[in-house]
Amino acid sequence: LGGIGHIFPGSIATRFMPCGKPYCGCATDSSKRHGPYYEWTRKLAGKTVSKRLTAEQARLYKGWIGNRRQLKKILTRMQAVSIQIAEAQMAVPRQ
């Protein structure tokens, strides 16, 4: 577990956005939108919070989000094994 690295909640979205200028090509053609822009989105105190990231930050955050998912799988497995062991121990009569 010590080598898992940073763990981050949330997800990374890649977006292509119109700039808002009425005469820009992106206003009428969705294939000409600007980007990619990267956003990290997560829940914070019950509210959805997003933060714009650089391409390098997005690459790092994706890895850290993956680490969190890996950690959750490990913990779920550890919990299941612990329950099995505890139930087996409880089934053995004490002397």
Task: Please tell me what DSSP assigns to residue 94.
Answer: P
Q: Confidence class of residue 80 from pLDDT cuts 50, 70 and 90?
A: very high
Q: What is the pLDDT of residues 52-72, one digit of tens each?
A: 999 999 999 999 999 999 999
pLDDT band for 2, please (50, 70, 90 cuts). confident
Residue pair 55/38 in contact (Cβ under 8 Å)? The answer is yes
pTM to 2 decimal places: 0.78
pLDDT tens per residue, range 39-53: 999 999 999 999 999
pLDDT value, residue 41 = 97
Given a cut of 80, whether residue 87 has pLDDT beyond it is: yes
What local confidence, expressed as pLDDT, does residue 95 receive?
Answer: 65
| H helical segments located in 10-54 | none
